[in-house]
Chains A and B, each alone.
Chain A
Amino acid sequence: MRFFIRLWEIIIERFHLKEFLEHPVPRYSNLNPLYWIGDVAAMSFFILAITGFILAWLYTPGVSTTVTTPPDILSGHTTAESYIATQSYGSVYRIMYLTPLGFIVRQIHLWAAYMMIFATLAHFFAKFILGSYKRRGGGALWLLGVLLGFLTISQAVLGYILPLHLDGILALQIGLNIFRYFDYLGIPVGQLTLALLGSNFVTDQVIKIIYSLHILIVPAIILVLLVLKINGILYGGVSPPPVKDPAAREKALQEKEPFYPHRFALTAGLLFLQLSVLLLLVAVFPLPLLEPWVPGQPVPAGVRPPWPVMWYYTYVKMIDPFISVGLPFVLVLFALVVPLLDRNKGVSIEERWVWVLIALVYIAIIGYGTVLGYLIDLPKEITPITRIAVPPEYATPYISTPTPVGP
Protein backbone atom coordinates (compact mmCIF):
# COMPACT_ATOMS: atom_id res chain seq x y z
CA MET A 1 0.00 0.00 0.00
CA ARG A 2 2.86 2.34 0.90
CA PHE A 3 4.35 1.69 -2.55
CA PHE A 4 1.17 2.85 -4.28
CA ILE A 5 0.92 5.98 -2.10
CA ARG A 6 4.54 6.83 -2.96
CA LEU A 7 3.87 6.15 -6.67
CA TRP A 8 0.82 8.45 -6.58
CA GLU A 9 2.89 11.19 -4.90
CA ILE A 10 5.62 10.85 -7.55
CA ILE A 11 3.05 11.12 -10.39
CA ILE A 12 1.50 14.22 -8.78
CA GLU A 13 4.92 15.81 -8.34
CA ARG A 14 6.52 14.93 -11.70
CA PHE A 15 3.52 15.88 -13.81
CA HIS A 16 2.72 19.03 -11.79
CA LEU A 17 -0.81 17.83 -11.14
CA LYS A 18 -1.09 19.38 -7.67
CA GLU A 19 -2.38 22.71 -8.95
CA PHE A 20 -4.99 21.00 -11.13
CA LEU A 21 -6.14 18.54 -8.48
CA GLU A 22 -6.45 21.16 -5.78
CA HIS A 23 -8.07 23.88 -7.84
CA PRO A 24 -11.06 25.27 -5.93
CA VAL A 25 -14.57 24.30 -7.03
CA PRO A 26 -17.58 26.25 -5.69
CA ARG A 27 -19.53 24.13 -3.21
CA TYR A 28 -22.90 25.12 -4.71
CA SER A 29 -21.92 23.55 -8.05
CA ASN A 30 -21.16 20.26 -6.27
CA LEU A 31 -24.49 20.24 -4.46
CA ASN A 32 -26.81 21.39 -7.29
CA PRO A 33 -27.63 18.58 -9.81
CA LEU A 34 -28.08 21.19 -12.58
CA TYR A 35 -24.27 21.51 -12.55
CA TRP A 36 -23.64 17.76 -13.03
CA ILE A 37 -25.42 17.15 -16.32
CA GLY A 38 -22.53 18.39 -18.47
CA ASP A 39 -20.32 15.81 -16.74
CA VAL A 40 -22.79 13.07 -17.71
CA ALA A 41 -22.66 14.20 -21.38
CA ALA A 42 -18.85 14.35 -21.37
CA MET A 43 -18.52 10.95 -19.71
CA SER A 44 -20.99 9.49 -22.22
CA PHE A 45 -18.68 10.72 -24.97
CA PHE A 46 -15.73 8.83 -23.49
CA ILE A 47 -17.85 5.68 -22.96
CA LEU A 48 -18.87 5.95 -26.62
CA ALA A 49 -15.25 6.40 -27.69
CA ILE A 50 -14.16 3.24 -25.86
CA THR A 51 -17.07 1.05 -27.03
CA GLY A 52 -16.84 2.57 -30.54
CA PHE A 53 -13.16 1.67 -30.66
CA ILE A 54 -14.02 -1.98 -29.99
CA LEU A 55 -16.92 -1.96 -32.47
CA ALA A 56 -14.66 -0.48 -35.17
CA TRP A 57 -12.51 -3.65 -35.04
CA LEU A 58 -15.47 -5.76 -36.06
CA TYR A 59 -17.58 -3.52 -38.28
CA THR A 60 -17.15 -3.69 -42.08
CA PRO A 61 -18.78 -0.95 -44.15
CA GLY A 62 -20.24 -2.00 -47.49
CA VAL A 63 -23.48 -2.23 -49.46
CA SER A 64 -22.86 -5.47 -51.33
CA THR A 65 -25.70 -7.88 -50.62
CA THR A 66 -23.84 -11.12 -50.29
CA VAL A 67 -24.68 -11.64 -46.67
CA THR A 68 -27.51 -13.77 -45.38
CA THR A 69 -28.50 -13.42 -41.75
CA PRO A 70 -31.06 -15.10 -39.51
CA PRO A 71 -33.84 -12.79 -38.27
CA ASP A 72 -33.22 -10.21 -35.54
CA ILE A 73 -34.50 -12.07 -32.47
CA LEU A 74 -35.09 -8.88 -30.47
CA SER A 75 -37.53 -7.63 -33.13
CA GLY A 76 -39.93 -10.41 -32.12
CA HIS A 77 -39.29 -12.81 -35.01
CA THR A 78 -39.95 -16.43 -34.24
CA THR A 79 -39.53 -17.99 -37.67
CA ALA A 80 -36.18 -19.24 -38.84
CA GLU A 81 -36.34 -17.43 -42.19
CA SER A 82 -33.19 -15.70 -43.42
CA TYR A 83 -32.68 -12.24 -44.83
CA ILE A 84 -30.51 -10.97 -47.60
CA ALA A 85 -28.67 -8.00 -46.18
CA THR A 86 -25.81 -5.65 -46.90
CA GLN A 87 -22.27 -6.25 -45.73
CA SER A 88 -22.68 -3.47 -43.13
CA TYR A 89 -25.81 -5.05 -41.69
CA GLY A 90 -24.20 -8.48 -41.73
CA SER A 91 -21.17 -7.25 -39.78
CA VAL A 92 -23.38 -5.53 -37.17
CA TYR A 93 -25.43 -8.75 -36.93
CA ARG A 94 -22.19 -10.65 -36.36
CA ILE A 95 -21.11 -8.21 -33.64
CA MET A 96 -24.46 -8.30 -31.91
CA TYR A 97 -25.41 -11.97 -32.10
CA LEU A 98 -22.40 -14.06 -33.07
CA THR A 99 -19.56 -12.47 -31.05
CA PRO A 100 -19.20 -13.24 -27.35
CA LEU A 101 -19.92 -10.04 -25.35
CA GLY A 102 -20.43 -8.15 -28.63
CA PHE A 103 -24.07 -7.77 -27.68
CA ILE A 104 -23.15 -5.92 -24.46
CA VAL A 105 -20.61 -3.65 -26.20
CA ARG A 106 -23.03 -2.58 -28.95
CA GLN A 107 -25.92 -2.12 -26.53
CA ILE A 108 -23.77 0.07 -24.27
CA HIS A 109 -22.76 2.09 -27.36
CA LEU A 110 -26.42 2.62 -28.34
CA TRP A 111 -27.67 3.46 -24.87
CA ALA A 112 -24.67 5.72 -24.18
CA ALA A 113 -25.46 7.59 -27.42
CA TYR A 114 -29.06 8.10 -26.28
CA MET A 115 -27.82 9.12 -22.84
CA MET A 116 -25.37 11.62 -24.36
CA ILE A 117 -28.12 13.21 -26.47
CA PHE A 118 -30.47 13.37 -23.49
CA ALA A 119 -27.73 14.81 -21.23
CA THR A 120 -26.70 17.32 -23.92
CA LEU A 121 -30.27 18.59 -24.26
CA ALA A 122 -30.77 18.65 -20.48
CA HIS A 123 -27.42 20.45 -20.04
CA PHE A 124 -28.44 23.02 -22.67
CA PHE A 125 -31.72 23.77 -20.90
CA ALA A 126 -30.06 23.78 -17.46
CA LYS A 127 -27.52 26.39 -18.63
CA PHE A 128 -30.26 28.30 -20.44
CA ILE A 129 -32.25 28.54 -17.20
CA LEU A 130 -29.16 29.34 -15.12
CA GLY A 131 -28.08 32.04 -17.61
CA SER A 132 -24.55 30.64 -17.64
CA TYR A 133 -23.53 32.87 -20.57
CA LYS A 134 -23.73 35.93 -18.32
CA ARG A 135 -20.41 35.42 -16.58
CA ARG A 136 -17.11 36.53 -18.07
CA GLY A 137 -16.19 34.13 -20.90
CA GLY A 138 -19.57 32.43 -20.63
CA GLY A 139 -20.68 33.59 -24.10
CA ALA A 140 -17.79 31.77 -25.78
CA LEU A 141 -18.51 28.61 -23.78
CA TRP A 142 -22.19 28.90 -24.72
CA LEU A 143 -21.21 29.08 -28.39
CA LEU A 144 -18.99 26.01 -27.97
CA GLY A 145 -21.83 24.23 -26.19
CA VAL A 146 -24.32 24.89 -29.01
CA LEU A 147 -21.76 23.64 -31.56
CA LEU A 148 -21.12 20.55 -29.44
CA GLY A 149 -24.87 19.90 -29.24
CA PHE A 150 -25.17 20.16 -33.02
CA LEU A 151 -22.19 17.83 -33.48
CA THR A 152 -23.62 15.35 -30.97
CA ILE A 153 -26.87 15.06 -32.91
CA SER A 154 -24.93 14.83 -36.22
CA GLN A 155 -22.72 12.10 -34.78
CA ALA A 156 -25.76 10.16 -33.59
CA VAL A 157 -27.40 10.35 -37.03
CA LEU A 158 -24.17 9.25 -38.76
CA GLY A 159 -23.85 6.29 -36.41
CA TYR A 160 -27.49 5.38 -36.91
CA ILE A 161 -26.97 5.11 -40.67
CA LEU A 162 -24.03 2.68 -40.43
CA PRO A 163 -25.86 -0.65 -39.82
CA LEU A 164 -27.84 0.05 -43.03
CA HIS A 165 -31.14 -1.04 -41.55
CA LEU A 166 -34.32 0.56 -42.87
CA ASP A 167 -34.33 3.15 -40.06
CA GLY A 168 -30.75 4.09 -40.91
CA ILE A 169 -31.65 4.70 -44.53
CA LEU A 170 -34.55 6.86 -43.37
CA ALA A 171 -32.06 8.85 -41.25
CA LEU A 172 -29.81 9.27 -44.29
CA GLN A 173 -32.70 10.56 -46.39
CA ILE A 174 -33.82 13.00 -43.71
CA GLY A 175 -30.23 14.19 -43.19
CA LEU A 176 -29.69 14.80 -46.90
CA ASN A 177 -33.05 16.54 -47.16
CA ILE A 178 -31.93 19.01 -44.48
CA PHE A 179 -28.93 19.91 -46.65
CA ARG A 180 -31.18 20.13 -49.70
CA TYR A 181 -33.29 22.67 -47.84
CA PHE A 182 -30.49 25.21 -48.35
CA ASP A 183 -30.60 24.60 -52.12
CA TYR A 184 -34.18 25.65 -51.94
CA LEU A 185 -33.11 28.95 -50.37
CA GLY A 186 -30.56 29.48 -53.16
CA ILE A 187 -27.49 28.24 -51.24
CA PRO A 188 -26.19 25.04 -52.92
CA VAL A 189 -25.32 23.14 -49.74
CA GLY A 190 -27.25 20.03 -50.82
CA GLN A 191 -25.56 19.95 -54.21
CA LEU A 192 -22.17 20.40 -52.57
CA THR A 193 -22.88 17.58 -50.10
CA LEU A 194 -23.91 15.23 -52.90
CA ALA A 195 -20.81 16.25 -54.88
CA LEU A 196 -18.61 15.45 -51.87
CA LEU A 197 -20.35 12.11 -51.37
CA GLY A 198 -19.76 11.44 -55.06
CA SER A 199 -23.09 9.77 -55.71
CA ASN A 200 -26.82 10.25 -55.54
CA PHE A 201 -27.13 6.64 -54.43
CA VAL A 202 -25.96 4.73 -51.37
CA THR A 203 -22.69 3.15 -52.49
CA ASP A 204 -19.67 1.63 -50.76
CA GLN A 205 -17.95 5.00 -51.18
CA VAL A 206 -20.79 6.88 -49.45
CA ILE A 207 -20.86 4.45 -46.52
CA LYS A 208 -17.08 4.69 -46.13
CA ILE A 209 -17.32 8.50 -46.02
CA ILE A 210 -20.06 8.31 -43.38
CA TYR A 211 -18.01 5.74 -41.45
CA SER A 212 -14.87 7.89 -41.46
CA LEU A 213 -16.89 10.93 -40.42
CA HIS A 214 -18.45 8.94 -37.58
CA ILE A 215 -15.31 7.32 -36.17
CA LEU A 216 -12.71 10.00 -36.88
CA ILE A 217 -13.62 13.48 -38.10
CA VAL A 218 -16.65 14.38 -35.98
CA PRO A 219 -15.32 12.78 -32.74
CA ALA A 220 -12.01 14.62 -33.24
CA ILE A 221 -13.82 17.96 -33.57
CA ILE A 222 -15.99 17.12 -30.53
CA LEU A 223 -12.86 16.23 -28.53
CA VAL A 224 -11.09 19.50 -29.41
CA LEU A 225 -14.17 21.58 -28.56
CA LEU A 226 -14.69 19.60 -25.36
CA VAL A 227 -11.10 20.23 -24.25
CA LEU A 228 -11.57 23.95 -24.98
CA LYS A 229 -14.79 23.97 -22.99
CA ILE A 230 -13.31 22.11 -20.01
CA ASN A 231 -10.33 24.48 -20.09
CA GLY A 232 -12.69 27.47 -20.12
CA ILE A 233 -14.58 26.10 -17.11
CA LEU A 234 -11.34 25.26 -15.30
CA TYR A 235 -9.94 28.78 -15.58
CA GLY A 236 -13.16 30.80 -15.97
CA GLY A 237 -15.23 29.06 -13.31
CA VAL A 238 -18.70 27.53 -13.41
CA SER A 239 -22.03 29.31 -13.90
CA PRO A 240 -22.96 31.81 -11.16
CA PRO A 241 -25.32 30.57 -8.42
CA PRO A 242 -29.00 31.24 -9.24
CA VAL A 243 -29.48 33.50 -6.20
CA LYS A 244 -31.07 36.98 -6.24
CA ASP A 245 -29.65 38.34 -2.96
CA PRO A 246 -26.14 39.79 -3.67
CA ALA A 247 -24.85 38.91 -0.18
CA ALA A 248 -26.03 35.30 -0.48
CA ARG A 249 -24.54 35.10 -3.97
CA GLU A 250 -21.20 36.40 -2.74
CA LYS A 251 -21.25 33.92 0.14
CA ALA A 252 -21.98 31.05 -2.27
CA LEU A 253 -19.10 32.14 -4.50
CA GLN A 254 -16.72 32.23 -1.54
CA GLU A 255 -17.49 28.70 -0.32
CA LYS A 256 -15.07 26.47 -2.19
CA GLU A 257 -13.85 22.89 -2.06
CA PRO A 258 -10.73 21.39 -3.65
CA PHE A 259 -11.37 19.38 -6.83
CA TYR A 260 -9.53 16.46 -5.26
CA PRO A 261 -10.86 14.65 -3.31
CA HIS A 262 -14.26 16.38 -3.14
CA ARG A 263 -15.45 16.84 -6.72
CA PHE A 264 -13.33 13.90 -7.83
CA ALA A 265 -15.23 11.53 -5.48
CA LEU A 266 -18.55 12.99 -6.64
CA THR A 267 -17.65 12.72 -10.33
CA ALA A 268 -16.34 9.17 -9.90
CA GLY A 269 -19.55 8.25 -8.09
CA LEU A 270 -21.65 9.79 -10.85
CA LEU A 271 -19.64 7.92 -13.48
CA PHE A 272 -20.19 4.59 -11.67
CA LEU A 273 -23.91 5.31 -11.30
CA GLN A 274 -24.16 6.38 -14.95
CA LEU A 275 -22.48 3.15 -16.07
CA SER A 276 -24.72 1.21 -13.70
CA VAL A 277 -27.85 2.77 -15.24
CA LEU A 278 -26.50 2.13 -18.76
CA LEU A 279 -25.88 -1.54 -18.03
CA LEU A 280 -29.27 -1.90 -16.36
CA LEU A 281 -30.86 -0.49 -19.53
CA VAL A 282 -28.83 -3.00 -21.57
CA ALA A 283 -30.02 -5.86 -19.35
CA VAL A 284 -33.68 -4.86 -19.14
CA PHE A 285 -34.36 -2.97 -22.38
CA PRO A 286 -32.05 -4.31 -25.11
CA LEU A 287 -32.48 -2.50 -28.41
CA PRO A 288 -33.21 -4.57 -31.53
CA LEU A 289 -31.04 -4.47 -34.63
CA LEU A 290 -34.10 -3.65 -36.81
CA GLU A 291 -34.95 -4.81 -40.32
CA PRO A 292 -32.20 -4.92 -42.95
CA TRP A 293 -32.30 -2.67 -45.99
CA VAL A 294 -31.52 -3.99 -49.45
CA PRO A 295 -30.26 -1.49 -52.07
CA GLY A 296 -33.18 -0.29 -54.17
CA GLN A 297 -35.73 -1.04 -51.48
CA PRO A 298 -37.96 1.91 -50.49
CA VAL A 299 -38.41 2.61 -46.79
CA PRO A 300 -41.87 1.30 -45.78
CA ALA A 301 -44.36 3.74 -44.22
CA GLY A 302 -44.22 2.17 -40.76
CA VAL A 303 -40.52 2.87 -40.22
CA ARG A 304 -39.95 5.56 -37.58
CA PRO A 305 -36.83 7.37 -36.45
CA PRO A 306 -35.52 6.90 -32.87
CA TRP A 307 -36.78 9.16 -30.08
CA PRO A 308 -34.07 11.89 -30.24
CA VAL A 309 -35.26 12.98 -33.69
CA MET A 310 -38.85 11.79 -33.51
CA TRP A 311 -40.09 15.35 -32.77
CA TYR A 312 -38.48 16.59 -35.98
CA TYR A 313 -39.90 13.75 -38.05
CA THR A 314 -43.38 14.46 -36.64
CA TYR A 315 -43.23 18.12 -37.62
CA VAL A 316 -41.85 17.31 -41.08
CA LYS A 317 -44.81 15.03 -41.65
CA MET A 318 -47.39 17.32 -40.05
CA ILE A 319 -46.41 20.80 -41.14
CA ASP A 320 -45.51 21.94 -44.63
CA PRO A 321 -41.87 20.96 -45.35
CA PHE A 322 -40.91 24.55 -46.21
CA ILE A 323 -41.42 25.44 -42.56
CA SER A 324 -40.75 22.20 -40.74
CA VAL A 325 -37.49 21.16 -42.45
CA GLY A 326 -35.93 24.50 -41.46
CA LEU A 327 -37.14 24.27 -37.84
CA PRO A 328 -33.85 22.87 -36.41
CA PHE A 329 -31.90 25.74 -38.02
CA VAL A 330 -34.23 28.28 -36.42
CA LEU A 331 -33.81 26.61 -33.01
CA VAL A 332 -29.99 26.42 -33.35
CA LEU A 333 -29.66 29.99 -34.66
CA PHE A 334 -31.84 31.31 -31.86
CA ALA A 335 -29.75 29.38 -29.31
CA LEU A 336 -26.59 30.96 -30.76
CA VAL A 337 -27.87 34.54 -30.41
CA VAL A 338 -29.40 34.11 -26.93
CA PRO A 339 -26.36 35.69 -25.17
CA LEU A 340 -26.75 38.77 -27.40
CA LEU A 341 -30.47 39.10 -26.67
CA ASP A 342 -30.43 38.41 -22.94
CA ARG A 343 -28.61 41.47 -21.57
CA ASN A 344 -30.25 41.52 -18.14
CA LYS A 345 -27.70 41.13 -15.33
CA GLY A 346 -29.91 39.01 -13.05
CA VAL A 347 -29.20 35.27 -12.77
CA SER A 348 -31.93 34.12 -10.38
CA ILE A 349 -35.06 32.39 -11.65
CA GLU A 350 -37.30 35.33 -10.50
CA GLU A 351 -35.26 37.79 -12.55
CA ARG A 352 -35.13 35.52 -15.61
CA TRP A 353 -38.71 34.30 -15.81
CA VAL A 354 -39.04 35.36 -19.48
CA TRP A 355 -36.05 33.23 -20.46
CA VAL A 356 -37.24 30.35 -18.32
CA LEU A 357 -40.53 30.62 -20.24
CA ILE A 358 -38.65 30.54 -23.56
CA ALA A 359 -36.75 27.45 -22.38
CA LEU A 360 -40.07 25.82 -21.50
CA VAL A 361 -41.41 26.66 -24.99
CA TYR A 362 -38.30 24.97 -26.46
CA ILE A 363 -38.90 21.88 -24.31
CA ALA A 364 -42.61 21.93 -25.21
CA ILE A 365 -41.88 22.03 -28.97
CA ILE A 366 -39.52 19.07 -28.73
CA GLY A 367 -41.63 17.17 -26.16
CA TYR A 368 -44.92 17.69 -28.02
CA GLY A 369 -43.47 16.45 -31.32
CA THR A 370 -41.84 13.45 -29.62
CA VAL A 371 -44.96 12.31 -27.77
CA LEU A 372 -47.20 12.94 -30.78
CA GLY A 373 -44.87 10.92 -33.00
CA TYR A 374 -45.47 7.85 -30.84
CA LEU A 375 -49.21 8.40 -30.48
CA ILE A 376 -50.39 9.05 -34.03
CA ASP A 377 -49.94 7.35 -37.36
CA LEU A 378 -47.77 9.36 -39.71
CA PRO A 379 -48.26 10.90 -42.16
CA LYS A 380 -51.16 12.44 -40.32
CA GLU A 381 -54.01 14.06 -42.18
CA ILE A 382 -53.33 17.77 -42.19
CA THR A 383 -55.87 19.72 -40.16
CA PRO A 384 -56.39 23.50 -39.91
CA ILE A 385 -54.56 23.44 -36.57
CA THR A 386 -51.50 21.58 -37.74
CA ARG A 387 -51.19 23.14 -41.16
CA ILE A 388 -49.30 26.38 -41.53
CA ALA A 389 -50.21 27.91 -44.90
CA VAL A 390 -47.41 28.61 -47.36
CA PRO A 391 -47.52 29.62 -51.03
CA PRO A 392 -48.37 26.55 -53.16
CA GLU A 393 -45.18 26.73 -55.20
CA TYR A 394 -43.13 26.16 -52.04
CA ALA A 395 -45.06 23.05 -51.04
CA THR A 396 -42.38 20.67 -52.29
CA PRO A 397 -42.21 17.37 -50.43
CA TYR A 398 -38.74 16.99 -49.01
CA ILE A 399 -39.42 13.62 -47.45
CA SER A 400 -40.45 11.02 -49.95
CA THR A 401 -39.69 7.44 -50.84
CA PRO A 402 -36.01 7.00 -51.67
CA THR A 403 -34.65 7.05 -55.17
CA PRO A 404 -34.06 3.44 -56.24
CA VAL A 405 -30.43 2.56 -56.12
CA GLY A 406 -28.84 1.55 -59.38
CA PRO A 407 -26.61 -1.45 -59.85
Chain B
Amino acid sequence: MILEVVLQVALSPEAIAYIVAAVGVIGALSVYGVMQLDRRWAAYVAFLFELVLTVLFAYTVNIVYALYGAPGFGSVEDIALGVAYQRVAAGILSAMLLLAGVVSIGYYIELQKTGGGGHE
Protein backbone atom coordinates (compact mmCIF):
# COMPACT_ATOMS: atom_id res chain seq x y z
CA MET B 1 0.00 0.00 0.00
CA ILE B 2 2.70 2.44 1.05
CA LEU B 3 4.70 1.42 -2.00
CA GLU B 4 1.83 2.40 -4.30
CA VAL B 5 1.36 5.71 -2.47
CA VAL B 6 5.07 6.50 -2.87
CA LEU B 7 4.94 5.71 -6.56
CA GLN B 8 1.80 7.79 -7.12
CA VAL B 9 2.98 10.84 -5.24
CA ALA B 10 6.67 10.97 -6.15
CA LEU B 11 8.14 12.29 -9.37
CA SER B 12 9.56 9.57 -11.59
CA PRO B 13 13.37 9.11 -11.66
CA GLU B 14 13.43 10.32 -15.27
CA ALA B 15 11.58 13.53 -14.37
CA ILE B 16 13.97 14.30 -11.50
CA ALA B 17 16.94 13.49 -13.75
CA TYR B 18 15.76 16.01 -16.38
CA ILE B 19 15.23 18.70 -13.74
CA VAL B 20 18.68 18.03 -12.25
CA ALA B 21 20.33 18.06 -15.67
CA ALA B 22 18.72 21.43 -16.43
CA VAL B 23 19.69 22.92 -13.05
CA GLY B 24 23.22 21.46 -13.27
CA VAL B 25 23.93 22.71 -16.80
CA ILE B 26 22.45 26.17 -16.16
CA GLY B 27 24.33 26.31 -12.84
CA ALA B 28 27.69 25.31 -14.33
CA LEU B 29 27.35 27.79 -17.21
CA SER B 30 26.20 30.59 -14.88
CA VAL B 31 29.05 30.00 -12.42
CA TYR B 32 31.59 29.83 -15.24
CA GLY B 33 30.17 32.98 -16.86
CA VAL B 34 30.03 35.04 -13.65
CA MET B 35 33.55 33.85 -12.76
CA GLN B 36 34.87 35.73 -15.78
CA LEU B 37 33.51 38.93 -14.18
CA ASP B 38 33.89 38.40 -10.45
CA ARG B 39 34.97 35.26 -8.64
CA ARG B 40 33.29 36.23 -5.40
CA TRP B 41 29.88 36.60 -7.10
CA ALA B 42 30.49 33.30 -8.87
CA ALA B 43 30.80 31.67 -5.43
CA TYR B 44 27.44 33.22 -4.40
CA VAL B 45 25.77 31.99 -7.61
CA ALA B 46 27.25 28.51 -7.04
CA PHE B 47 25.92 28.55 -3.48
CA LEU B 48 22.43 29.35 -4.78
CA PHE B 49 22.50 26.42 -7.22
CA GLU B 50 23.96 24.18 -4.51
CA LEU B 51 20.92 25.00 -2.37
CA VAL B 52 18.53 24.06 -5.18
CA LEU B 53 20.43 20.81 -5.79
CA THR B 54 20.46 20.05 -2.05
CA VAL B 55 16.66 20.31 -2.01
CA LEU B 56 16.45 17.95 -5.01
CA PHE B 57 18.88 15.55 -3.35
CA ALA B 58 16.90 15.53 -0.11
CA TYR B 59 13.68 14.94 -2.09
CA THR B 60 15.22 11.99 -3.98
CA VAL B 61 16.77 10.41 -0.89
CA ASN B 62 13.41 10.72 0.86
CA ILE B 63 11.80 8.74 -1.96
CA VAL B 64 14.58 6.12 -1.72
CA TYR B 65 14.00 5.66 2.02
CA ALA B 66 10.21 5.59 1.61
CA LEU B 67 10.57 2.99 -1.15
CA TYR B 68 12.96 0.73 0.74
CA GLY B 69 10.99 1.11 3.95
CA ALA B 70 7.65 0.22 2.36
CA PRO B 71 6.11 -3.13 3.34
CA GLY B 72 6.30 -5.59 0.46
CA PHE B 73 9.44 -4.04 -1.05
CA GLY B 74 11.72 -6.68 -2.63
CA SER B 75 10.45 -7.61 -6.08
CA VAL B 76 12.76 -7.17 -9.07
CA GLU B 77 10.67 -4.20 -10.29
CA ASP B 78 10.89 -2.49 -6.87
CA ILE B 79 14.67 -2.98 -6.80
CA ALA B 80 15.02 -1.61 -10.34
CA LEU B 81 13.06 1.48 -9.29
CA GLY B 82 15.16 1.89 -6.14
CA VAL B 83 18.34 1.66 -8.20
CA ALA B 84 16.99 4.23 -10.67
CA TYR B 85 16.29 6.73 -7.85
CA GLN B 86 19.73 6.10 -6.35
CA ARG B 87 21.39 6.70 -9.71
CA VAL B 88 19.56 10.03 -9.90
CA ALA B 89 20.73 10.85 -6.35
CA ALA B 90 24.32 10.10 -7.43
CA GLY B 91 23.85 12.40 -10.41
CA ILE B 92 22.64 15.23 -8.15
CA LEU B 93 25.69 14.84 -5.89
CA SER B 94 27.88 14.81 -8.99
CA ALA B 95 26.40 18.15 -10.14
CA MET B 96 26.87 19.64 -6.64
CA LEU B 97 30.51 18.59 -6.50
CA LEU B 98 31.14 19.85 -10.03
CA LEU B 99 30.02 23.34 -8.99
CA ALA B 100 32.17 23.18 -5.83
CA GLY B 101 35.16 22.04 -7.92
CA VAL B 102 34.72 24.84 -10.45
CA VAL B 103 34.58 27.44 -7.67
CA SER B 104 37.70 26.00 -5.92
CA ILE B 105 39.75 25.92 -9.10
CA GLY B 106 38.44 29.38 -10.01
CA TYR B 107 39.76 30.59 -6.66
CA TYR B 108 43.18 29.08 -7.44
CA ILE B 109 43.22 30.76 -10.86
CA GLU B 110 42.39 34.08 -9.20
CA LEU B 111 45.24 33.57 -6.73
CA GLN B 112 47.55 32.91 -9.68
CA LYS B 113 46.49 36.13 -11.39
CA THR B 114 46.69 38.34 -8.32
CA GLY B 115 49.94 36.85 -7.08
CA GLY B 116 48.26 35.37 -4.02
CA GLY B 117 47.65 38.02 -1.44
CA GLY B 118 46.32 35.39 0.95
CA HIS B 119 42.96 33.82 1.59
CA GLU B 120 39.81 35.69 2.40
- CB <8 Å contact, A272 and B100: yes
For A96, give the chain B residue with the smallest CB separation.
Answer: B83
**Interface residue? A233 (CB, 8 A):** no
Does any Cβ of A come within 8 Å of B88's Cβ? yes
Measuring CB to CB, which residues of chain B are less than 8 angstroms from any residue of chain A?
61, 64-65, 67-69, 74-76, 79-80, 82-83, 86-91, 93-98, 100-105, 107-108, 111-112, 116, 118-119
B17 to chain A, nearest CB (A): 8
The answer for the CA separation of A98 and B104 in the assembled complex, in Å, is: 36
Contact B104–A279 (Cβ < 8 Å): no
> B76's contact among A70, A103, A262, A270, by CB below 8 Å, is which?
A70
| B83: nearest chain-A partner, CB-CB | A103
The answer to whether A104 touches B90, judged by C-beta atoms less than 8 angstroms apart, is: yes
Could you say which residues of chain B place their CB within 8 Å of the CB of A361?
none
Q: Is the CB of A71 within 8 A of B107?
A: no
Distance from B42 Cβ to chain A, minimum over Cβ atoms (Å) = 13
Q: Mark A246-261, 1 if CB is under 8 A from B, else 0.
A: 0000000000011011
The interface residues of chain B lying within 8 Å CB-to-CB of A269 are 100-105, 107-108
Q: Which stretch, A48-56, A280-288, A296-304, A366-374, touches the partner chain B?
A: A280-288
Q: List 27 A-B contacts (CB under 8 A).
A: A30-B108, A70-B76, A71-B76, A73-B83, A74-B83, A80-B76, A98-B79, A100-B64, A103-B82, A103-B83, A257-B111, A261-B118, A265-B104, A266-B108, A269-B100, A269-B108, A273-B97, A273-B101, A276-B94, A276-B101, A279-B90, A279-B91, A279-B93, A279-B97, A282-B90, A282-B94, A283-B88
Please measure, in the bound complex, the distance between the C-alpha atom of A286 and the C-alpha atom of B89, giving whole angstroms: 13
A97 within 8 A of B: yes
Selected from B74, B90, B96, the residue in CB contact (under 8 A) with A283 is: B90
Please name the residue on chain A nearest to B104 by beta carbon: A269
A258 and B105 contact, CB distance less than 8 A: no
> Told that A276-B98, A277-B94, A282-B87 touch, could you supply 18 new A-B pairs with CB distance under 8 A?
A70-B74, A70-B79, A73-B80, A98-B74, A100-B65, A103-B86, A104-B86, A104-B90, A258-B116, A261-B119, A265-B105, A266-B104, A266-B105, A268-B104, A272-B104, A276-B97, A283-B91, A284-B91
Q: Chain B contacts of A265 at CB under 8 A?
A: 104-105, 107-108, 111
Q: Does A107 contact B (CB under 8 A)?
A: yes
Is A223 positioned at the interface, with any CB of B under 8 Å from its CB?
no
Specify which chain B residues have a CB less than 8 angstroms from the CB of A268 in the assembled complex: 104
Residues of B within 8 A of A100 (CB): 64-65, 67-69, 82
B101 x A272 contact (CB < 8 A)? yes
Is A99 at the interface (CB under 8 A from chain B)? yes
Asked if A185 lies at the interface with its beta carbon under 8 angstroms from chain B, I say no
Chain A contacts with B in 218-262, Cβ cutoff 8 A = 257-258, 260-262
Q: Does A122 contact B (CB under 8 A)?
A: no
| B61→A101 contact, CB < 8 A | yes
- Is A286 within 8 A of B94, CB to CB? no
- Kindly list chain A residues whose C-beta atoms are within 8 Å of the C-beta of B90: 104, 107-108, 279-280, 282-283
Taking the nearest CB of chain A, how far is it from the CB of B79, in angstroms? 5
Q: Which of A30, A99, A265 has the most CB of B within 10 A?
A: A265
For the complex of A and B, list the 3 residue pairs with the smallest distance between their C-beta atoms, beginning with the closest: A269-B104, A272-B101, A279-B94
Shortest Cβ distance from A79 into B: residue: B76
Closest to B80 in A: A73
Q: Interface code A180-192, partner B: CB below 8 Å = 1, 0 otherwise?
A: 0000000000000
Minimum Cβ distance to chain A for residue B57 (Å): 11
Complex partner residue of B94 from A73, A260, A283, CB under 8 angstroms: A283
A323 within 8 A of B: no
Which residues does chain B contribute within 8 Å of A270, judged by CB atoms?
101, 105
